[in-house]
Every structure is written in C-alpha cells, then in structure tokens.
Structure 1
Amino acid sequence: MNTTETQTTQHARTTQHTPAPARTPEIFPTLKADDAPALIDFLVETVGFLRTAVYEDGGRVAHAQLDWPEGGAVMLGSFDPDGEWCVRPGTFGAYVVTDHVDELYARLSEAGVQIIRELEDQPYGSREFAIADPEGNKWAFGTYRGEPRPS
C-alpha cells in the first residue's frame, strides 16, 4: 500500500468508531428558497433540523436559523432576486454529519424524500447518502467528520 492508501485506511478505522464532540457553528452555510416556509417545514419536520429562529417580514422569511441536533446549523430566507446577498434557490449543497445515518436514511426513504444517492459505505470510511429537497438543493448525510486539523 502507498502512503495515501495507508493514511486513508488508518483514517477510516479511527473515524468509524470515535465520534468527535459537536462543534459550535463558526461558519453558517446560507441558502434561499422560493417557498422558505415550506422548505423550513421540510427540513424541520421531515429531515430533523431544529427550528432555532425564524423572522418574517411582510410574509417573507427575512432570516431563519436551523440547527442540526448533532452540531452545526444553516441559515436561510426567502429568495429576493434584487437582494445583494442572494443565491438562486436550488443551487445549494451541504454535507451533514450524523451518527444515525441508517436510521435517517430509512426515515427519509419512508417519507418519500427524493434520494439522489443511495446509502453506501465509502472507501474513505464514511457511510452516507444524499437527497434533494423540494427546492432542488442537495444534502448529503454521512458519518465522515472531516480530517483532523493540522497542528
């Protein structure tokens, strides 16, 4: 085995059984939605995010924060094509870490969520799958916690 293969194999062995502590979000991925209330409901009621804050302004979502129970969060709001900080709905993608990937996959499959990549073990040690939300955004869920920070 070459060095890269050895590092990947060693990393896979250690990450599968040693959950890292949840981190406080320091980077909040952001997305916009044509129907932000419906997307919030989907992410909370179907996927399992926590509705931490939702601020509306004139029937539109000005700001929402949804926390992932295992750590991290996203921010989202209603799409405004004239806004200076606005990405098109359906162009977002995120990887969400979970220790409950099999249970989440089963629950989302049973709920009829669009699975775009089936549950599968990856060569780098993660077990993961991906979905598309009703706006077309891509969400991957898996056990991969990233590489350790360099010292």
Structure 2
Amino acid sequence: MVLHYDDTKAALRFLVDVPGFEQVVASPDEHGGIRHAELRRPGGGALVSGSTRHTDSVHGRTRAGASAVYVVSDEADAVHRRVVNAGGEVLEAPHETRFGSGAAAYVCTVRDPKGNLWTFGTYRGPSPE
C-alpha cells in the first residue's frame, strides 16, 4: 500500500505516535520534506508513503487524503485511546460489527490529518474452506 501526503513529516509523526507504526525508512528530499518513507506494524504488515510534491512516478500522481485503509489488529482500544489523547478525529469508537462476508469483527475507525480513513480491527479475511 502506498499513501501520499502533502506534509509527509507530519503524517509520519501521526502514524508512528498514534496508530503505532514503526518507521523503517525516511528519505529526505531537496525541500526539507520526506520523499519516501516505509513503516511497519508490530506483528506484521507494511506501509509505504511519499510526498505529493514528487510526481515523477505513477504513484506520485495520487492525491493525498483519498484512501481508506484496513489494518488487521487486536489493538482497536489502544489505537482509539491514542487518537483521543492526541486530539485526533475518531469516526467510530471501538465496537462490534459485521462485514459484508457476515464475519464479526471488533473495529475502530479514525481519520488521519490528511483525511485518509484508518480502520483497525480483528477481521482477518474469509476463513479457508
């Protein structure tokens, strides 16, 4: 997954401090921003982000704030607490729900400073038959 931000430094601070990603790479650009960043989730998963200032690749033509991300996590309550403590926007507090597949999940949805929606929940996909 690749997400783009106008202010990648602020986005990295949010993604590390609030949802709890770990920063692995942050390559600076000539303007004092971040050209490319890579983040990991404890327990698995990765995210790549970049600046909307850099349009020299196909991914660089993506506008910021236009994504919805689902993160498999057993930490919906902890993420919710960190978002509230940081003064962030909670769209849905932790709650039980059912996805289109009918599977139950415990989820929380927040909005990052650029407008991307992040849902953290226990749904791990359909069960193998």
Q: Does the pair score TM above 0.5?
A: yes
* Structure-2 change in CA distance of 1:127 and 1:35 (3 Å): same
- Residue in 1 that maps onto 2:110: 131
1:31 and 2:10 are equivalent in the alignment:
no
TM-score, normalising length: structure 1: 0.74
- What do the CA deviations read for 1:108-151 (whole angstroms, capped 9, x no partner)? 2232210112221013210001111001111000111111356x
Aligned length, in residue pairs: 122
- Does the Cα contact within 8 Å between 2:40 and 2:47 map onto a contact in 1? yes
Amino acid at match of 1:145: R
Between Structure 1 and Structure 2, whose CA radius of gyration is higher?
A: 1
Q: Relative to total residues, which structure has the larger strand share, 1 or 2?
A: 2
Residue 85 of structure 1 aligns to which amino acid in structure 2?
A: H
State the match for 1:142 in structure 2.
121
Quote the residue 2:12 is aligned against. Answer: 40
Q: Give the helix-richer structure, 1 or 2.
A: 1
Query: Percent same amino acid among aligned pairs?
Result: 34
Runs of 4+ in 1 over 3 A off after TM superposition: 81-84
1:68 maps to which of 35, 41, 61: 41
> Could you tell me whether the CA contact under 8 Å between 2:75 and 2:120 is conserved in 1?
no
Say what the alpha-carbon RMSD is for the aligned residues. Answer: 1.6
Report the AA paired with residue 30 of structure 1. V
TM-score by length of 2: 0.85
Deviation, structure 1 residue 93: 1.5
1:1-58 superposed Cα distances (whole Å, 9 cap, x missing partner) = xxxxxxxxxxxxxxxxxxxxxxxxxxxx001110001100110022210001111121
